[in-house]
Structure 1
Amino acid sequence: MDRRKEPPRLPEGGFAAWNRDRLALARRGADECGDVWQLEPGVYVAATAGPCETVLCRAQDFLKVPSPLFPPLKRSSGAPTPEERAHAHAARMRGLRPHAVAARIGEIAPGTARFADQWPTGQDVEILPPVRQALAEVGVRYVFSEDAPTLLPFAPQLFLAREVLVQPSRWVWPRWVPTPARRFRTRQQVAFTDALRSVILRRRSSGRLGDDVLGQMLQPSARYGLLPEEAILDSLPGITVATFETPSRAAGWILLDLARYPQAADRVAAEAAVLPADPAATTSSHLDSLRYTQALVREVLRLHPPSWLLTRRATRRTQLAGYTIDAGSTVLVCPYTSHRDAREYSEPDRFQPERWLDDSGSSAKPGVFLSFGTGPHGCEGAALAMAVLTLLTAQTARCYHVSEPPGTEPGYRLTTFGGLATDGLRLRATLRS
């Protein structure tokens, strides 16, 4: 490689400094080195919108690193083929596209309203566990409809399997090593898929496939025919966890900002007055009317993207932002710093939901808002997540003033490994008069 074309390296950077404070080093790299910088030899960080979008959209040149949380179980029939995976993805998307989500708002709203109804008032509460439980109920019901009661009990164990696996470790074991965490993951995956197999058998034998996400996967395709059962079973454990795990992280930041910006919370509460008393009567028109609430959600996601770092691998020697990237190099895409680029966002560190209400603002620029990724591997559930988070925000602000515990120390632990999260977040809800 011609070293003159390498991205600049941050002085005193490297993995040791990275592991001490990832966010601070990411900011320093973007500020001091620019669009793309070198963390270690062969490891680069795409720090601003242009390079981030390029990497995410050029999927053939920058391959998504295969790290499935729930890899295909070993079976005599083998893993699903690439064609079957493509069919499964297309079938899932029929149930997750914006128009499909809009048609089911009345099913989503009751679950988010239950979270607000059940928040204990007048006391400091660790709020992420009930958020996660509420959003798991919403997500599992969205994917499986009337079969949600059968499958919901498995969701907490699948989530726990994920949490155990993504914890930082001194040792990186080869994937074939059956560590205790991996054995636990496999047990939970097998239990869930066994229960799901019974649901699929009953639906197919009765002919009532359903119109939820599972039902869409059971529908035969004119192009592919009937999707094999194993392709369905292999994809749904991860999808099930994804419906609530990342949104729960985002909800933590949203609730924290409702506490920190009471005027914004008051504006959300006033806007939420349009929501019907019966959450099941909520429609997509009600959701569309929550313009400021949606803007607030997007602003929180801009400042605190739950998936703040995405990993890709260069499949060939290529160019990125004028630099040469060798085949096999790792490229870390950083929405966290991309969203703080003053060339794209005025006063980028300022919490300003109003920026999303301006039609000339950054929301109209492709590739600038990356909290849901972009390109071929953009988040499948982006429309569902936005609907869930908007309703949760509106219903909570309508009911409560939210505040942080008194004191100078934050009521949470900032974590960056496996996502940007407010672990242990404690908040207090007081009824609005």
Structure 2
Amino acid sequence: MPTALLPPGPKGHFITGNLVPFSEDPLGFLTRCAREYGDVVRLGKSNYLLAHPDLIEKVLVNGEGHFVKIAGHEARKRSQVGFPEAMMNSEGEDWLRKRRFVQPAFHRKYVAACGEKVISLTEHLLDSWRPGEPRDIYGEMSELSLDIVSRFLFHTPIHDEARHVAAAVDAIMRLTGSPFRFPMWMPTPTNVRLRRSLRKLDTVLAGIVRRYRERPGEPQDLLGILLSAEQTLSEEQLRDELATMIMSGHGTTADGLVWTTYLLAQHPEVQARLVAELDEVLDGRVPQAEDLPRLRYTEAVVKESLRLYSPAWITSREAIRDCELGGFHVPAGTTLGVSQWVTHRDPRYYEEPEAFRPERWLDESIKQLPKYAWFPFGGGPRLCIGAPLAMLELVLITACVARRFRLELAPDCVVRPRPALALQPVGVRILPHPRAIRSGTGSLPREVSA
């Protein structure tokens, strides 16, 4: 191909490159790079950052077949940390076959049917809230989302095993949150904790599968689909698929719920408008999945939260052949990073990009946004398979919480984002205050029982 220019970027240290500034502040470093150097930034010899929505679309949609998510997949399976047999860790025809296989479990009728369970579990949690009592909102939302996703995937709660799942998720988050990774055979504290957590997770998932097989006539959920495969899946394949679905289905959703709660607690005017919509649409009753089309401002709150604090804050693809992006040469083997954090806060696409303004999603001008100026669930063929379920949870749970409580941040909490595998909210503590809500029978408003 004709010689093309290499993109600009920070020079970095002659030995460590840009590893130190990235590891110290990934979010700030990537944002500064995009604002200073443009839409294609060379972060290192084989690492580029893409910031323009059109380039992000080109890479994620991958219509020309230049890019893969996991290069050298088969060769890396033996050494990969985590769950190499799972769909999300697969590539090419192997990924496509697995995606088609599990897709029926995420049919819209099953997602919609999950709404009732989302509401009942959320209301049960809110019944335990006491006026003005600080809540560990991350722990509570994590348990709630884990309960929801387990019932969706295999129609059973995993209360007793939840702490082992949470431990495995946390260990993997800590591993991926560090730019320095020792080989798994080295007995570092992180590696020891990770191996222990994964062994516990194996035991938990084996028990779930065993109990599931003992119950006849189960609904068509993910585990039922996996167990009904014409070609019997190995225990490793079952484990990997279930583990990744549980971890991605509850971890990122919990992060999104906490970030939304955090933003609402800081903006009483947004809470007021949200409650006005809930009073008008619900008239005092609990929300249902059927209400979602009318809860437009509630959805806007969630979308704005996902814009500012998308749990998926960065993803990447690898070029498998030389190509050109944005007028710059991309050699084969280059890792191309696309960051929701960077592009979602780009002032070219969002007025006051750092401000929490849900009303922007109700403005007609939002239709003029480039398609990939907002991509919290990724995009292209590998768009998150659980995106509809995640949005249903986020909107319904937000509606339940705001309907019953006015939220404040605890005065002593210091909140920061931790960019690991997902963008985790650290330090969020909430003070809930019961609201007077409309009765629904035409009577005077009543205080919600707390």
| TMscore range, shorter length | 0.7 to 0.9
Match of 1:377 among 375, 379, 382: 382
Residue aligning to 1:243: 249
Unaligned runs of 5+ in 1: 74-78
The number of equivalent residue pairs is: 420
Q: Distance in 1 between matches of 2:151 and 2:283?
A: 21
For residue 361 of structure 1, give the secondary structure of its aligned residue in structure 2: helix
Q: Residue 48 of structure 1 contacts residue 337 of structure 1 at CA under 8 Å; is this kept in 2?
A: no
Residue aligning to 2:418: 415
Distance 1:316 1:175, change over 3 A: farther
1:169-206 CA-to-partner distances (Å, cap 9, x unmatched) read: 6x422356565544543444344444434544554565
Distance 1:292 1:7, change over 3 A: same
For residue 407 of structure 2, give the secondary structure of its aligned residue in structure 1: strand
Q: Distance in 2 between matches of 1:88 and 1:149?
A: 29
Q: Residue 311 of structure 2 contacts residue 422 of structure 2 at CA under 8 Å; is this kept in 1?
A: yes
Residue aligning to 1:165: 175
1:319-360 CA-to-partner distances (Å, cap 9, x unmatched) read: 112211111112111111211233433443332212222455
- What amino acid is aligned across from residue 236 of structure 1 in structure 2? L
Residue aligning to 2:316: 311
Q: Residue 289 of structure 2 contacts residue 392 of structure 2 at CA under 8 Å; is this kept in 1?
A: no
Q: Distance in 1 between matches of 2:92 and 2:11?
A: 43
Q: Is residue 75 of structure 2 the alignment partner of residue 70 of structure 1?
A: no
Q: Residue 147 of structure 1 contacts residue 199 of structure 1 at CA under 8 Å; is this kept in 2?
A: no
Match of 1:234 among 237, 240, 248: 240
Residue aligning to 2:116: 106
Q: Residue 97 of structure 1 contacts residue 383 of structure 1 at CA under 8 Å; is this kept in 2?
A: no
Q: How does 1:110-189 map to 2 (within 5 A)?
A: 110-146=120-156, 148=158, 152=162, 154-168=164-178, 171-174=180-183, 177=186, 179-189=188-198
Q: Is residue 208 of structure 2 the alignment partner of residue 196 of structure 1?
A: no
Match of 2:391 among 386, 394, 398: 386
For residue 372 of structure 2, give the secondary structure of its aligned residue in structure 1: coil
Residue aligning to 1:76: none
For residue 38 of structure 1, give the secondary structure of its aligned residue in structure 2: strand
Residue aligning to 1:6: 6
For residue 415 of structure 1, give the secondary structure of its aligned residue in structure 2: strand
- What amino acid is aligned across from residue 57 of structure 2 in structure 1? E
- What amino acid is aligned across from residue 264 of structure 1 in structure 2? V
Residue aligning to 2:25: 21
Q: How does 1:285-364 map to 2 (within 5 A)?
A: 285-362=290-367
RMSD: 3.2
Distance 1:313 1:267, change over 3 A: same
The range that moved more, 380-389 or 142-151, is: 142-151
The range that moved more, 139-148 or 204-213, is: 204-213
Q: Residue 164 of structure 2 contacts residue 204 of structure 2 at CA under 8 Å; is this kept in 1?
A: no
For residue 411 of structure 1, give the secondary structure of its aligned residue in structure 2: coil
Q: Residue 270 of structure 1 contacts residue 398 of structure 1 at CA under 8 Å; is this kept in 2?
A: no
Q: Residue 158 of structure 1 contacts residue 189 of structure 1 at CA under 8 Å; is this kept in 2?
A: yes
Q: Distance in 2 between matches of 1:147 and 1:51?
A: 42
Residue aligning to 1:424: 427
Task: Output the TM-score relative to the length of structure 2.
Answer: 0.82
Unaligned runs of 5+ in 2: 437-450
Q: Distance in 2 between matches of 1:428 and 1:147?
A: 28
Q: Distance in 1 between matches of 2:11 and 2:130?
A: 49
Q: Residue 256 of structure 1 contacts residue 404 of structure 1 at CA under 8 Å; is this kept in 2?
A: yes
Task: Output the TM-score relative to the length of structure 1.
Answer: 0.85
Q: Residue 105 of structure 1 contacts residue 283 of structure 1 at CA under 8 Å; is this kept in 2?
A: yes
Residue aligning to 1:46: 50
Distance 1:359 1:365, change over 3 A: farther
Shift of 1:240: 0.7
Shift of 1:416: 2.1
Q: Residue 87 of structure 1 contacts residue 227 of structure 1 at CA under 8 Å; is this kept in 2?
A: no
Q: Residue 143 of structure 2 contacts residue 162 of structure 2 at CA under 8 Å; is this kept in 1?
A: no
